């Protein structure tokens, strides 16, 4: 089934990863959300206000995991992925989140970095 966490466990992981990723100057909340409250096919999402360095992360409730997902779900991986977006938020905002090339490259880079970080921490 993968790494499934409660909302409390997710908040503990948030504290840990905020330190590791040096995001202590941000105010970040995380919660588990139902699929209907998220973008279609998203396992997690982040919204931020860069000027205030505030962010809200939603991680998909396991109840709404699709049956045809490749690989196991990992809520910690989803959390780290969304946190890494905050480091790139100024660039993302510059492109006005409206550049498909940039968005693709950002997602690919963040996915690779996330996998590497998770692998090192779990070793």
- pLDDT in 10s for each residue of the chain, 123 residues: 478 999 999 999 999 999 999 999 999 999 999 999 998 889 999 999 999 999 999 999 999 988 776 667 899 999 999 999 999 999 988 877 677 888 889 999 999 999 999 999 999
Give me the percent of the chain exceeding a pLDDT of 90. 75
Residue 43: CATH number of its domain: 3.30.2010
The DSSP element (H or E) to which 55 belongs, if any, is: strand 54-60
Q: How many domains does the chain have?
A: 1
> What predicted TM-score, i.e. pTM, was given to this entire model?
0.92
Q: Domain residues for 84?
A: 2-122
Sign of the torsion angle spanned by Cα atoms 110, 112, 116, 121: positive
- Which pLDDT value is given to residue 50? 96
Measured CA to CA, the distance from residue 32 to residue 4 in angstroms comes to 11
Contacts of 37 (CB under 8 A, 6+ apart): 58
């Amino acid at each position: 089934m993968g790494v499934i966490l409660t909302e409390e466990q997710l908040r503990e992981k948030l504290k840990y990863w905020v330190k590791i990723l040096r995001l202590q100057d941000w105010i970040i909340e995380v919660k588990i959300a139902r699929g209907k409250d998220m973008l279609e096919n998203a396992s997690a999402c982040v919204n931020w206000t860069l000027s205030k360095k505030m962010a809200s992360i939603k991680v998909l409730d396991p109840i709404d995991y699709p049956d045809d997902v490749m690989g196991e779900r990992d809520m910690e991986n989803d959390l780290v992925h969304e946190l890494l977006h905050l480091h790139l938020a100024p660039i993302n905002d510059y492109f006005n989140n409206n550049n498909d090339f940039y968005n693709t490259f950002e997602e690919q880079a963040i996915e690779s970095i996330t996998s590497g970080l998770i692998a090192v921490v779990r070793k």
